[in-house]
Amino acid sequence: MILILLFLLFAPVSTLYQSYGVRGQFSCGESLAKGLTVKLYDLDRYSHENDLLDEGVTDGFGNFTLSGGTAELTRIEPMLEVIHDCNDGGKVGNRKSKFLLPQMYITYGTKALKTYEIGNVNLETIFLSEDRDYSDETVQKSSENPHEI
Ligand SMILES: *[C@@H]1O[C@H](CO)[C@@H](O)[C@H](O)[C@H]1NC(C)=O
């Protein structure tokens, strides 16, 4: 018992380093969602400053793979964000769609040993809670018949 308490008190912070990997594919209706910015975060509900773990761009098939990690005292809350203009009705700015990812794919250590496969996601889906991004107006406009929201 004492030993366990001592271990908990003096365990090096590195034991709390957590890593995450995610891959998948985005499409917009019939088209593959190429060249979209995708970001993997650790959602921080208290500071509102999410830790960016990795960032990338979808390839010619709309596919992406991200992985990264951070040291935290509590379990990280992995969140995937994709910035896109699919089914956006020609509005200024872009959609920022976010996904909370399952925590059971977290690896304790600096290398993500598991990769969460989110599969193919059709970005025509409207998520109940979304932000907008105004930093880039060149994001692919791929919806032929956008539905007004
Ligand atoms: C693209 O991603 C999907 C879903 O993860 C996967 O089934 C498919 O094999 C991937 N294709 C390529 C070319 O990597």
Query: What's the CA-to-centroid distance between 75 and ligand 1, angstroms?
Result: 29
Query: What's the CA-to-centroid distance between 7 and ligand 1, angstroms?
Result: 43
Alpha-carbon span 68 to 56, nearest angstrom? 12
Protein residue with its CA nearest to atom 13 in ligand 1: 61
Residue 41, number of CB atoms within 10 A of its CB: 24
pTM assigned to the model: 0.80
Mutation test of ligand 1: which of 25, 32, 101, 123 has the most ligand atoms closer than 8 Å to its C-beta?
25
CA distance to 85, 89, 132, per residue, from 121 (Å): 14, 19, 19
Protein residue with its CA nearest to atom 10 in ligand 1: 63
- Report the CATH architecture of 14-133: Sandwich (2.60)
Question: If pLDDT is split at 50, 70 and 90, which confidence band does 142 have?
Answer: very low
- Residue 1 tokens, joined: 């018992």
65 CB near ligand 1 (under 6 Å): no
Q: Nearest-CA neighbor of 96 among 147, 45, 139?
A: 139
Q: Which atom of ligand 1 approaches the CA of 120 most closely?
A: 4
pLDDT of residue 46: 78
| pLDDT surpassing 70 at residue 12 | no
As a whole-number percent, the residues of the chain with pLDDT over 70 amount to 81
**pLDDT, tens digit (0-9, with 9 covering 90-100), for 44-81:** 877 778 899 999 999 999 999 999 999 988 899 999 99
119 CB near ligand 1 (under 6 Å): yes
Alpha-carbon span 30 to 28, nearest angstrom? 6
Q: How much is the average pLDDT of 99-127?
A: 95
